Amino acid sequence: MDEFDLDVMLQRALDRLALLAEASEVLVSTLDADEGLRRVCRILVPQLADWCSVELLGDDGRVRRAATAHRRPAAASARLREGPVPPPPPDAGGPLARALRGAGPLLVGGRGGAAPTPGGCTGGAWEGELLGAEEAASAIVAPLRARRRVLGALTVARTAGGPVLGADEAALVEDLAHRIALAVDNARLHAEVQRTAEQFQHALLPGLPDVAPVELAARYRPARVGAAEVGGDWYDAFRLPGDGTALIIGDVTGHDVRAAVAMSQLRNMLRGIACDRTEPPGMILRRLDLAHHALSDTTATCLYGILRPLPDGRWQLSHASAGHPPPLLATGRGDTCYLDEGRGLMLGVDPHGARPSATAVLTAGCTLLLYTDGLVERRGEDLETGFTRLRHHTAALARRPLAELCDELLAGLLGDHHPDDTALLALRLPPATQG
């Protein structure tokens, strides 16, 4: 072997290592499995192949083409599209069907591989539709295996007129398939943990009572950025002895099981104190703070209100805040204002501090919003900007049905990538009677 051949071999080895490193980097850059696969396909084409695809197996045995790439996208056939794929027949013997059953990597039509059929590397009848339509002269199909499970398959192919794939490329594709499988498995595990955390969080939230003629609605939205964790945001509403209705919104510091446990403790303690004591909301929060201080070292915000009807048809809201954002009141015409009186320190800071109460008279048909800071806070933005934004959105939606108002607020203010949990409790008073 002369020096030139040695240099060529060394360069090829370096190129393959660089390809593996680049693919690994994009795989760990996102927990969205499909997006990671698309990024890898864009790397493999054209560095390794003229086109490639990744098929994933669902738990129900269904096959989905999760990512594809083609050197000349305009020339790609309709077969090379993301979406569901009919599962292979049990007797399918082509390379893709075999890879989905765990065989491989399989080299077809290349150096040292199985001979292609006339017109290209068509494989079996089931997969030949794709391989034949894309005119694959040589292809490598490798299974995606992780934790003794086959998660799918990776196909890389070259068309006629260029160098064919061989054993060296097969070894590279096998390494790539292993890394892809680990990334897919990790993404699925993360999604499963996130679903479990969200189910746990929702299980801790109560149902809403029937307090007709007042209408109640509540929403909880978990964070969509960062790790899959439970949060400390909560809402609550229940009838009090007599003619009052308790309205509560709160947020425990932290995003872990400890915060969720503290949240559950606070909610249950507040329920017991509120039902046992006919006292102003500020005094109720003071008693809650004393109990919380004895049982936990966490801090939390909380807003507690009591809604009662007045003889003249209006409604009275008594409320107190322990470091929580103020309620937002909107009339049926869209006029809005924040009820920012009755403010005190967060729970867990000074259990002996004074906690004032405030009272507001609510007119018929108005809407009251209690919310956690995830609805208004944005990183790098002044909090007043968030409060103004919430007012504008609420004013525009004031005439909508209450459930629709809640959904539109969350959609308009949070989007798909909000970094914090958000709880929302809304009520609407009955309209004025016609007389």
Whether omega before 84 lies within 30 degrees of 0, making that bond cis, reads no
d(CA 369, CA 319) in angstroms, rounded, equals 13
Residues 6+ apart with CB under 8 A from 307: 214, 244, 245, 247, 315, 316, 317, 362, 427
Domains annotated for the chain, with CATH where assigned, are 3-195 (3.30.450.40), 205-428 (3.60.40.10)
Q: What CA–CA distances, in Å, run from 300 to 132, 172, 420? A: 62, 53, 15
Tokens encoding 133: 């339509």
d(CA 155, CA 408) in angstroms, rounded, equals 43
Q: Are 394 and 330 in contact (CB under 8 A)?
A: yes
What pLDDT is stored for residue 227 in this prediction?
Answer: 47
What pLDDT is stored for residue 87 in this prediction?
Answer: 79
What pLDDT is stored for residue 338 in this prediction?
Answer: 97
Q: Which residue type, as a one-letter code, is found at position 15?
A: D
Q: Tell me how far apart the terminal alpha carbons of the chain are, to the nearest angstrom.
A: 104
What pLDDT is stored for residue 235 in this prediction?
Answer: 93
What pLDDT is stored for residue 39 in this prediction?
Answer: 92
Q: Are 207 and 217 in contact (CB under 8 A)?
A: no
Q: What CA–CA distances, in Å, run from 12 to 19, 155, 167, 229, 362? A: 10, 21, 14, 44, 76
Using alpha carbons only, what angle is made at residue 303 by residues 298 and 308, rounded to the nearest 5 degrees?
150
| Residue 342 CB burial class (10 angstroms; 0-12, 13-18, ≥19) | buried
What pLDDT is stored for residue 344 in this prediction?
Answer: 93
What pLDDT is stored for residue 3 in this prediction?
Answer: 57
What pLDDT is stored for residue 435 in this prediction?
Answer: 44
What pLDDT is stored for residue 47 in this prediction?
Answer: 87
d(CA 220, CA 234) in angstroms, rounded, equals 8
Using alpha carbons only, what angle is made at residue 308 by residues 303 and 309, rounded to the nearest 5 degrees?
145
Tell me the pLDDT of the chain (435 aa) as tens digits. 555 555 555 666 676 777 778 888 887 777 788 888 999 999 899 888 899 999 999 888 889 999 999 988 877 777 788 888 887 877 777 888 888 998 889 888 755 445 444 334 544 545 555 666 677 888 899 999 998 899 999 999 998 877 888 888 898 999 999 999 999 998 888 777 767 666 666 666 778 999 999 999 999 887 765 544 566 788 999 999 888 999 999 998 876 667 777 888 889 999 999 999 889 999 999 999 999 888 888 899 999 999 999 988 899 999 999 999 999 999 988 899 999 999 999 998 888 888 999 999 999 999 999 999 999 988 888 899 999 999 999 999 999 999 999 999 999 998 766 667 899 999 999 987 654
